[in-house]
Amino acid sequence: NVIDNGPGVEQDKLAWIFEPFNTTKGLKGTGLGLAVTKRIVYEHKGRIRLESTPGKGASFKMILPADLDAMLDPSATSNRAGHMMGDSLGIL
C-alpha cells in the first residue's frame, strides 16, 4: 500500500488517472508515473487499486502474485536477493 494524506483524487479523475500523459500536476508532471506503475503491475499479472476520498488523501494498493514454483523449489531462488515468507516474497 502507498498511502498519503494529500488532497485525494476527485471522482471525475478516477476514469483516467492511470492513462499515460494525464496529470493532475499541470506542467510539473509528465503523466507517466501511474501509467508506468500500472503497466509493470499488470505485466507481473498483478493488479492495482485506488481508494480515495477528496480532501482526505489516497491509497494505492498493489497486489502481485507469489511465484509458487519458486516457493516449492527453494533452489530456484538461490541466486535471488530475497527470501520466502509464507506466500509472499520479502525483498531485503
What does the pLDDT read at residue 84?
A: 47
What does the pLDDT read at residue 14?
A: 87
What does the pLDDT read at residue 91?
A: 54
**C-alpha cell belonging to residue 13:** 479523475
Does the 2-65 domain belong in CATH 3.30.565.10?
Answer: yes
Q: Return the domain boundaries, the chain.
A: 2-65
The residue ranges of DSSP E strands in 1-92, in sequence order, are 2-3, 47-52, 58-63, 82-85, 88-91
What does the pLDDT read at residue 38?
A: 94
Determine the Cα angle at 42 with ends 41 and 45, to 5°: 100
pLDDT digits (tens, 9 = 90+) for 37-71: 999 999 989 999 999 988 899 999 999 988 777 76
pLDDT digits (tens, 9 = 90+) for 62-88: 999 887 777 677 665 555 555 544 555
- Please tell me the distance from the alpha carbon of residue 27 to that of residue 41, in angstroms, as a whole number: 26
Task: Report yes or no: 51 and 4 within 8 Å, Cβ to Cβ.
Answer: no
Task: Report yes or no: 45 and 51 within 8 Å, Cβ to Cβ.
Answer: no
pTM of the model: 0.65
What does the pLDDT read at residue 74?
A: 65
Residue 90 clears pLDDT 70, i.e. is over it? no
Task: Report yes or no: 63 and 73 within 8 Å, Cβ to Cβ.
Answer: no
